[in-house]
Amino acid sequence: MNESKKLALESVVQETGPQPDHAIIWLHGLGADGHDFVPIVPHLKAAQLRPVRFIFPHAPIRPVTINGGMAMRAWYDIIGASIDRDQDEAGILASVEAVNDVIQQQIKDGFNADRIVVAGFSQGGAIGLRAGLAQRSPLAGVIALSCYLLQSATLETWSSPSSSAVPIFMGHGQQDPVVPMALGQAAADRLSAAGYSVEWHDYPMPHSVSPEEIQAIDQWLEQRWS
């Protein structure tokens, strides 16, 4: 059995109107599930002005080393406190493949790749960046919240040249005790230096999402879709 089959992702799906022609795949953080970001849908005016399909996948349940081996929903294992270094490569690649399957399913359902946005928070944001920038058919954009860049040193080997123009929204809390903002800034700097178009936002908040950040995401989405 290959990893993509083992990680076939169940999802919560919501649509803001009939026959949607835009889609957002939104990945939750460590220990949450696909329901975590469902409440954001009515707060995104850009998604109320046109029919949009939201897909909120559930990460697989796995033991997480840094949490004493407790089993929880996680996109990959976190082995140590240096979260940008102690990485579970096999888990990362399996989740990237599973998210790619979700993207490809939307394309099979009739969505053009350039009308699909991949979004995520924390672990979900890290996987969203990793999966979104590897697409051969460029997506409409990537939203990466309170996260960092997985496999940053090898960006040029796993990213797709055709995705170099994909716009990226990055948001982070200035008082984030879980994923220090310096890691998010380092990711934005690395991507910008590699030629990506990164829009950076930071807010006076911890490891969370604020109304101001949601408003900025809404405006960014409207720019992508108008």
Q: Enumerate the active-site residues.
A: 122, 176, 207
Between CA 199 and CA 15 the distance in angstroms is: 27
- At 65, give phi and psi (nearest 5°): -55, -45
